[in-house]
Structure 1
């Protein structure tokens, strides 16, 4: 019986110690480079893969031209813009206008 009580007491102590450890604030303030990385990462939100990496890298280097450069249009955005640009045309005129517009972008 005392063995069970010892295990129960040890388990309860472990639970309380874990809860106290988790409740204690452990976050230290970020260093300046960590804060800059967090800011650059937040600025590159929505980008993925190599585009994300290059954006964060240039931001960390202090190169703001990458952030100011307009993002490339997706094919769907190009189609929408060219379609709007050629509104009112019909048939072959519409198709040739959209085709020329897409080649220009």
Structure 2
């Protein structure tokens, strides 16, 4: 019984320690995706070598601006406001929001 308790406690501790690491990895992966997208939009495709490397280094090392809303958050706010103005409810609102957010 004591062995099972110790094993459970050990596994719990491992999960607690590794949770922030996986969260940081997901954040860095999202940042990499965003920076790649921005590089491509600026015409710094895979064949641009040093220009792309410099941009990616700067982009990946940039600290996020706190309290800055993402484009998706702004879109959600605008769609939500429009749905409210149209007094949409239930399935009608869901359909409208889905269409609005996908545009």
TM more than 0.5: no
Q: Going by fraction, where is helix more abundant, 1 or 2?
A: 2
Larger relative CO (CA 8 A, sep 6+): 1 or 2?
A: 2
**Structure 2-normalised TM-score?**
0.33
Structure with max Cα Rg = 1
